[in-house]
Structure formats: structure tokens, C-alpha cells
Amino acid sequence: MKYLILICLSMTLLVSCQNAQQTQSKQAQVEFNQAVTDTLAMNVKTETLRTWKAYKKYAWGHDALAPLSKSYSDWYSEPLYISPIDAYSTLYLMGFTDEVKEIENYVVDSLDFNKNIDAKIFEVNIRILGGLLSMYELSGNPKVLEKARDFGDRMLPAFNTKTGIPKYWVNLKTGIPRGDTVNVAEAGTYTFEMGVLSYYTKDPKYYQAGKKATLAIYNRRSPIGLIGDVIDVESGEWVSKQSHICAGVDSYYEYLYKSYLLFGDPELGVMWDQSLEAINQYIAEEYQGRLWYGRVDMNTGKYVSSVVTLYDAFFPAILALSGDQERAVKYENSWNWLWNKYGLEPMVYDYKTGVSRYPAYDLNPEIIESAYYLYHLTGDTTYYQMNRAFWTEIKKYCRTDIAYTSVADVQTMEKKDYMPTFFFAETLKYLYLTFSHDQRIFNFDEFVFNTEAHPFRRSSFNKQEAKIRLGF
């Protein structure tokens, strides 16, 4: 009996020792993971600051950094200060308060948009208007809102067309627009920024212009619910009837859902649901066990081509956000497969021939954005690991002695001399948010990002009030 009690006691001791050991090792694992996470988040922050300092040293006042020649590049004959405006919300979320204040002061005190240049309306909307509005959202500085309103007013004349779809360019000084042929992204990616501007200023004219343009596309859908990809802004005729979600269309779909999410305009919700159904019915296809969204004819739904662009990797994010996790996961896996095939993604790829049609990688964010969304929405660390791997490869192939640069060919990894402004706005931000996710500094569920990753708090936009201020 004595022995039995002794044996029992030692067994209990052993088990509790084992349990304690397991708890300890679990705890150690958690701490280890936390340390890795902190290190990665810190690493992205350090690299962002290094890159920002390079921009300041070699390109301050200009649109973009040329990292190899240690110089700058402007989009037009006069600079529009696009990099800092795009970088602001990323630097803000990373806690770089001095840098953020410096940009804000420059915008308020020195930036004048009264420039005799023809600006590409789509690009300046998502980067400049979106960036300024987010700067106001985050800083609350009314002078920043004045700048945003001024910029929005300069954009508006472009929408003065027979269809309401904006022309390609608008002169920021004279308001004279030009360029009658636009793709669908250029035609219908305005409801978000213009809705935000209407909300802040209580003037519905901006949202009304943006929505009219989006409706002009939607109302020209075919009987099977698909749209083309290029349109004439005056005649409203389709110039190209290829239907897809690739570059040239992407953010039109993105804004149907995100603007619905932010403002609650029910019409946009219906447009998103209907569009998604047609996309999944006619455009989605499984090829060699992977999910792809290729190109079909908008009237017949018949297959036209299997050429896709790396921009399309925005779609898993929007699928997951709108509740279709299954397709989101499958599609992100296809893009992850393609990334791993080269070590970076090619800009244009044919998933049936397996050939890259345009092999550049311009530090684009989409696959990283989707992995971040999926990490948050599924809690599956696979997506964390994906972004960890993407970051490792970006550092391996795109890092220079002062910053990061685009790659001309993902087969040779030959570098270009250009760092796009969205590297600041999107790529670095989504990496940082992934790696710092578990520190709970930023709550994904409280924000909606515009297509350039500029964040807006959902709580800033009351749905009842939006109805009045946006006029829907």
C-alpha cells in the first residue's frame, strides 16, 4: 500500500512536472513568436524610415525617388509631391510623428495645386485626393481638408461629359479636360474618395459625380451582367468588350463594395452582389487545380484569354472582406504559387501557357494586401508566413543601398531605377500591419482602406448622416 501511494505521488509529480514543462514551452513558443513578430514589424519600420530618409535626401519636393541614380522623377512638368502624400498614412501608423508633422506642414504651407499641368484623373484621385483625405481623417487638421476640397474642385471639370464618366486628364489650373477613351478603373473608381469628401464638406456634389460615373459603367452591362474594359466617355460605346477583373478594371469592383461598406448606399451593395455573381459564373475558372479569373467576352461569357496581371491579387482581399473566404483562400494560393515560381511576381502572366508576358515587378502590394486581410479574417498563420516570405524576397531582389527599387525582369532580377509612390502607401504598410497585427496597435475592423491603402475609420461615417451628406 505504502509503495502504491508512493508510486501514485511520483506519477502525479511527473505529470504535473510535464504539464508545467508543456505550459512553459508553450509560453516560450508564444514569447518566441512574439519576438519574431516584433522583430519583423521593427524591421519594416526601420526599412521604411531608411527609405523615407532617402526620398528626403534625394527627391524631396518631387513625386518619386529614383533609387539607383539617387535622383528623382516627376510625373509632369511640375511636381505634385505624390510620394509624401502617399507616404503620410503609413508613417502615421508606424508612429513617425516628426516625419508626419513635416509632411502635414508642407502640404498646408507650401503646396499649391494651381499648376498648368494635365493630371491623370484616376491616379491623382486615389493617391492625392485619397492621401489628403486620410491625412485629414488622421490629423483632424482643417487646413488639410481645405487642400483636399481645393483638389477635388480641380478634378470635377473632368466629369463634365455626356456620360458623366470623367475624361482621362484634367488641367489643374484651367480645368480643361481631355482624353475620351478610358478603361473601367479610370472610369469608375471615385465613389470612395468623393464620398468621403462629400461627407466631410457636407456637399453632395462630389459623391454625385463619382456615383454617376460608376452608374454609367454599370448601366452599360450586358444581358448576362458583365461589363467591358474600355469605354468612350462621350458616346458611352464600349471600345473593348473584354470582361475581367485585371488591371484596368480592378478598383471599379473594389469600390462597389468598399463604398457600400463605408457609406451604406444600398444601390452600391446591389451592384456589387450582382457583379460578383456574374464574375464568379463566367470569369472564374479552375485550371490545373488552381483558381484563376481570366478574360471573357462581355456579351457571350465565352473565354477570350488566360492573361492575368499581378494587380488581380487585390481580389482575394475583397472576396474575403465581403464574406467569400473559400474563394479568397483558393485565389490567394494561386498568386502565392505564381510568386514562388519566380521569386517575385511578373506583371503580366498567361496561366495556360505558363509564360510571363511582361516580366516586371514594380514593388506592387496586392498579393501582400490580400495575405494581410486573410491573416486577420481567418487567423491562419499561413498568411503571416506568406508575407514574411514576400518581404524576404523583396529585400533580396529590390533593396538598394538607399531604398527599394522596381525589377525589370523577374527572370533575371535586373533592377529598374524607380520606386513607385504606392510602395510607401501600400506595400510597406500592409507588411507592417501584418507583422504588428498581434500587438493590436491597429484594429483592422475599425477601418476601410481606399485602393491606395489610405485608411478611414468606419466610425467617422454615420450611415444615416451619409445619406444626407452624399445625397443618396
Give SS3 for 407. Answer: strand
Which residue stretch of 15-23, 27-35, 155-163, 360-368 sits at the interface with ligand DMJ (rule: CB under 6 A)? 360-368
- Least Å distance between CB 264 and ligand DMJ? 23
| 169 vs 422 by CB, closer to ligand DMJ | 422
Q: How far is the CB of 428 from ligand DMJ (least distance, A)?
A: 13
Site for ligand DMJ in 120-149 (CB under 6 A): 126
- Comparison of 124 and 233: residue with beta carbon closer to ligand DMJ: 124
Under the binding rule (CB under 6 A), the answer on residue 311 touching ligand DMJ is yes
Residue 129 contacts residue 155 (beta carbons within 8 Å): yes
CA distance 309 to 240: 17
- Cβ pair 258, 192 in contact under 8 A: yes
- Please, which residue, 104 or 254, has the CB nearer to ligand DMJ? 254
Dihedral sign (CA 41, 47, 53, 55): negative
**Angle, nearest 10°, between helix axes 366-378 and 325-342?**
140
At its nearest, how many Å lie between ligand DMJ and the CB of residue 74?
17
Q: Which residues does residue 223 pair with via DSSP β-bridges, in sequence order? A: none
- Residue 294, phi then psi, degrees to nearest 5: -95, -140
- Identify which of residues 204 and 368 has a Cβ nearer to ligand DMJ in the complex: 368
* Least distance in angstroms from the C-beta of 444 to ligand DMJ: 17
User: To which H or E segment does residue 109 belong?
Assistant: helix 97-110
Q: Which of 79, 309, 452, 466 binds ligand DMJ (CB under 6 A)?
A: 452
- Look at the alpha carbons of 355, 357, 359, 362 in this order and tell me if their dihedral is positive or negative: negative
**Binding-residue total with ligand DMJ (CB under 6 A):** 10
Nearest to 338 by CA among 272, 280, 287, 275: 287
DSSP category for residue 17:
H
Question: Could you tell me how many residues make up the chain?
Answer: 472
Minimum distance of ligand DMJ from residue 87's CB (angstroms): 13
The smaller minimum CB distance to ligand DMJ, of residues 47 and 452, is found at 452
Give least dist CB 353 to ligand DMJ, A.
Answer: 24
According to CB under 6 A, which one of 251, 275, 334, 434 is a site residue for ligand DMJ?
Answer: 251
User: Which residues make Cβ contacts (< 8 Å) with residue 93, sequence separation at least 6?
Assistant: 429, 432, 433, 441, 442, 455
Please give the grid coordinates belonging to residue 392. Answer: 524576404
What mask of x and - would describe binding to ligand DMJ in positions 5 to 44, judged by CB under 6 A?
----------------------------------------
Binding mask 79-118 for ligand DMJ (x = CB under 6 A): ----------------------------------------
65 phi, psi to nearest 5 deg:
-90, 140
Stretch that binds ligand DMJ, among 234-242, 270-278, 359-367, 400-408 (CB under 6 A): 359-367
Query: Helix 205-218 and helix 250-263: axis angle, to 10°?
Result: 130
Residue from 451, 454, 455, 466 touching ligand DMJ (CB under 6 A): that is 451
Query: Quick one: 47 or 362, whose CB is closer to ligand DMJ?
Result: 362
Within residues 390-449, the interface with ligand DMJ by CB under 6 A covers 422
Residue 204 vs 346, nearer CB to ligand DMJ: 346
Which among 127, 148, 136, 73 is positioned nearest to 100, based on CA atoms? Answer: 136
Query: Quick one: which segment of 209-217, 364-372, 405-413, 435-443 binds ligand DMJ (CB under 6 A)?
Result: 364-372
Cβ neighbourhood burial of 192 (10 Å; 0-12, 13-18, 19+): buried
Cα–Cα separations (whole angstroms), residue 368 to 105, 344, 424: 31, 12, 13
Binding site for ligand DMJ (CB under 6 A): 126, 250-251, 311, 364-366, 422, 451-452
